[in-house]
Amino acid sequence: MQMVAALLLLTACAAGQIPAAPAAGEVDGPGPGDVAEQAAGWQSGAAMPTARSEMRAAVVDGIFYVPGGFGGLTSFEAYDPANDSWTELAPMPQPAHHMMVAGHSGKVFVFGGGPDLSWQATASILVYDPAAEAWTAGGAMPERRMSGEAVSLGDFIYLVGGTGGTTALLRFDPAEDAWSVLPGPAQPREHVAAVAFNGELWVIGGRWGGTGALATVEIFDPASGAWRDGPEMNEARSGFGAAVVGGRIVVAGGEILGARPWTALASAEVYSPETGAWAFLPALPAGIHGMPVAAYEGTAIVLGGSDRAGGIDNRGRVLRLSP
């Protein structure tokens, strides 16, 4: 069975789809309590109960909800940034990694992702209601997708980038349970990050086949339906996290695949609308990829991730920076 899984992973990598993860038995490094490392400016918070990577987080009413990912495919935990504490919640009804996650109208939405190491994207939708403390199954996405990003903006949730389907921008209306298929960014992307910023959708970095890691940014204006180029990051990155923190965009970590050796990035950057440019922030204590970044009261918070580029070495770190 391990040999079959390894062959599937190598096939996916050769196709330029997703980096290889280690076979069973190689999944995790040191446990979630191993958070002694510090970098200038970054401070350690309470470690994740389940060290995980290749997942996203949803922010609902100031609480960070973190579902699934490698190291805990059905795990579901909530982080309270005000108290620096974790709560273990009801597990997801089905396993998922590389899924797209967004908080919207008081609920957590989980779109697509892969259920196992077969790397077959799904079109499923799961919805968690914190008030009811319960999961429900939604309808289906218009197509299968994983390794993209979900962003709540206005009345809609936008799904951008990823693999398994087309390169279209998908717009979901939760109130009507309806989908619209819109033109996607000019540069296809997966393992991408995206944020809602000043009423627009900013799609940042990522990678795509032979193009490799990207530093470019594309911006979608929902009012006009048009895309335009945004300011490039200083460093190309994929598999990283991004959040709007105090009116600026913070990105952190990521990975560079392609020519060996593969590299997990420790760098972080901030985009300021006052300067119209990106500037480097203090680096993370280690290169980390496959993790979300979320914001709380002017603080950027990194949740989990893997130290091994193209693989899984989960430490369960929580890192906080006030840029």
Indicate whether 279 belongs to any domain. Answer: yes
101-144 pLDDT tens trace: 999 999 999 999 999 888 899 999 999 999 999 999 999 999 99
pLDDT digit string (tens) for 42-98? 999 999 999 999 999 999 999 999 999 999 999 999 999 999 999 999 999 999 999
Q: Is residue 264 part of a domain?
A: yes
- For residue range 143-189, list pLDDT tens digits in order: 999 999 999 999 999 999 999 999 999 999 999 999 999 999 999 99
- Per-residue tokens: 51: 């060290």
Provide the whole-model pTM: 0.89
10 against 226, higher pLDDT: 226
**In a 3-state reduction of DSSP, which class is residue 2?**
helix
Task: Report how many domains make up the chain.
Answer: 1
Query: Is 123 part of a structural domain of the chain?
Result: yes
* pLDDT value at residue 157: 99
- 275-304 pLDDT, tens digit each: 999 999 999 999 999 999 999 999 999 999
Which strands make up the sheet holding 178-182, listed edge to edge? 149-153, 156-160, 169-173, 178-182
pLDDT at 40: 61
Please state whether beta strands 268-272 and 58-60 pair in parallel, antiparallel, or not at all (unpaired): unpaired
Cα angle 151, 154, 156; round to 5: 60
Is 3 part of a structural domain of the chain?
no
Answer yes or no: is 10 within a domain. Answer: no
- Cβ atoms of 21 and 311 within 8 Å: the answer is yes
Q: Helix (H, G, I), strand (E, B), or coil: what is residue 302? A: strand
Q: Is the pLDDT of residue 35 over 60?
A: no
Is residue 22 one of the residues assigned to a domain?
A: no
Instruction: Tell me the CB-side half-sphere exposure of residue 34, using CA atoms within 13 A.
Output: 12
**Who contacts 59 (Cβ-Cβ below 8 Å, separation ≥6)?**
65, 103, 294, 295
Assigned domain for 21 exists = no
Q: Which two tokens stand for residue 174?
A: 């939760």
How would DSSP label each residue in 118-177?
T-----EEEEEETTTTEEEEEEE-SS--BS-EEEEETTEEEEE--BSS-SPEEEEETTTT
Residue 121 in domain = yes
What's the token pair of residue 23?
A: 């076979």
CATH of the domain at 224: 2.120.10.80
Domain containing 104: what range?
30-321
pLDDT tens digits for 306-317? 999 999 999 999
